[in-house]
Structure 1
Amino acid sequence: MSFRRNNLREAHSEVDAGPLNDILFILLMFFLMISTLANPNVIKMSVPRAKSDTKTKQSVVVSVDKNKNFYVGSKKILPDSLESALRKYINEGDSIKPAVVINADSLTDWGNVVRIMKVAKHLGAATSATVSGSDK
């Protein structure tokens, strides 16, 4: 008698790779997103420095409202003391002069804006003006 087992086959062990691919894709996306948020300046290095320290240009904001009130920064000044107030920010001996930014209300006299520009030019600074407000 011959007992042959035709119904039983050898069991082949295989791993289903479908869910593994999904997990690897999610991990890859996670590390890519985290790497873009990481700080790129984590390596401490000694950067060479120049002998003369360079100064950055700063801007001085002069504002004029419709009531002819003058402001240097947020400090209210008298119109007659405009040159002395700007002289504190603009040193005559410096090679780099700050820019004077003029914010004027649309209802103010243009003579005040021109006056600020003349004082800034006399002190050696560059100027730029912006007009704000409504024309009511």
Structure 2
Amino acid sequence: MKLRRKRKFAAEVATSSLNDIMFFLLLFFLIISTVANPNVIKLLLPKASSSQQLSKKQVTLSVDANKQYFIDKQPVSSENLEEELKTIMTGIDEPTIVVRFDKTLSVQDLVDVLQTGAKLNIKMVMATSK
């Protein structure tokens, strides 16, 4: 008596190329994530309904929630803020500073920074998130 064996078809998935695809996706997202957020100082910016774009040399003054001042990512003490702004803005026509101010700070802190800019005849623009 002859017994027949049933041959079942087993479906297989070729996964040899998935390693290459995952590597390229990981590399793509790592590169994009570093380009997408150039500022390393994390702030919660206030919201605005409209925004303006500046086409001049951009100097950024950031103030975080701990009242630490940064001019273009360089820490500056609050006592030396006026002197540092004066040295950076020498020789620039129509000096403009983008102020990135944490929304948890009081309005008086913002007014103090804006008064410093007004004293030096510097135009200050408030950065907001959409």
TM-score (norm 1): 0.49
Structure 1 counterpart of 2:124, one-letter code: T
Moved over 6 A (4+): none
Structure 2 counterpart of 1:110, one-letter code: V
Query: What is the CA-CA distance between 1:57 and the residue it aligns to?
Result: 3.8
What does residue range 78-117 of structure 1 map to in structure 2 within 5 Å?
78-91=77-90, 94=91, 96-117=93-114
Contact 1:62 1:72 survives alignment (8 Å): yes
Bigger CA radius of gyration: 1
Contact 1:59 1:100 survives alignment (8 Å): yes
Q: Quick one: distance in 2 between partners of 1:58 and 1:121?
A: 19
List gaps (5 residues or longer) in structure 2: 1-54
Q: State the secondary structure of the residue aligned to 1:118.
A: helix
Q: Quick one: distance in 1 between partners of 2:119 and 2:58?
A: 16
Query: What is the CA-CA distance between 1:88 and the residue it aligns to?
Result: 1.2
Q: State the secondary structure of the residue aligned to 1:61.
A: strand
Greater relative contact order (CA < 8 Å, ≥ 6 in sequence): 2
**Identity rate of aligned residues, in percent?**
21
Instruction: Confirm whether residue 126 of structure 1 aligns to residue 116 of structure 2.
Output: no
TM-score (norm 2): 0.51
What does residue range 53-72 of structure 1 map to in structure 2 within 5 Å?
57-72=56-71
